Chain A
């Protein structure tokens, strides 16, 4: 078993001690653990983000395996449980607080009060818009990253990161809806946009 010290040392070799200290102290919430959220959680765990707050109500379905970071053995499990298993295989020494819950207008205030950065990774547009409205109303000072438009296998370069307002960012192509089907490569491009922006916000404190 690799020890905490060994992993920490390896991360410092890769990222430098100064950067690693910031990543270790960061608190990031990821709302939704599907194609976006499960990939974002894996990326942030790999680089040693110290505190992840992961929220989803759903179970892993066989149709999720085309793009989400789960394995066959996870089908039927709650995504919160399954992601914990995945992340612990990468780095078991980080804090991952998993909540099996339906995020709604009433509980947004309480659920995200302790997080420094909030990442929207839902599937349904109604839920994305609801979270955006509530987070911007209640926590306009917290960086908020959302995503829209990543379906199909079209142009990779049409997926971009945009600043929408103060502390508010959007990743995606802006238009393609899920009727075009969701596939691992393009969803992962969008997830990586969100994860990379979160990394920049943690390390540089700004974009």
Chain B
């Protein structure tokens, strides 16, 4: 199964929920905002969303400073 994350093709060998994928990539959930297929996702739904073929995910990660 292949989906896009920040424009890059990502290959998954098994079904995976969004939260597991984000954590596996090292993202800190408190400092990110995710849009899946151009819709913002509430963090409490990360766990129940299973990534699908052709999904387009945008993960915006923030660092401190301002």
Residues of A within 8 A of B (CB): 32, 34-37, 121-126, 128-129, 132-133, 136-137, 140, 146-151, 164-166, 168, 170, 174-178, 182, 187
Contact = CB atoms under 8 A, between A and B. Distances in A.
Given A133-B33, A136-B35, A177 B65 contact: yes
A178 B38 contact: no
B42 interface: yes
Given A165-B38, A170-B60, A34 B33 contact: no
B66 A150 contact: yes
A142 to B, nearest CB: 13
Contact of B40 (A128, A140, A175): A140
A125 B43 contact: no
B66 A123 contact: yes
A177 B64 contact: yes
Contacts, number: 79
Contact of B33 (A122, A132, A176): A132
Interface in B6-44: 30-33, 35, 38, 40, 42-43
A174 B30 CA distance: 16
Given A35-B65, A177-B63, 18 more contacts: A32-B66, A123-B66, A128-B31, A129-B60, A132-B60, A132-B62, A136-B33, A148-B60, A148-B61, A149-B63, A165-B38, A175-B63, A176-B63, A177-B65, A178-B63, A178-B64, A182-B65, A187-B66
Contacts of B60: 129, 132, 146, 148, 164, 170
11 contacts: A36-B66, A123-B65, A125-B30, A125-B62, A129-B60, A151-B64, A151-B65, A165-B38, A177-B64, A178-B64, A187-B65
A133 B41 CA distance: 8
Contacts of A34: 66
B42 A133 contact: yes
Nearest to A180: B65
Contacts of B42: 133, 137
Contacts of A166: 38
A24 B38 CA distance: 32
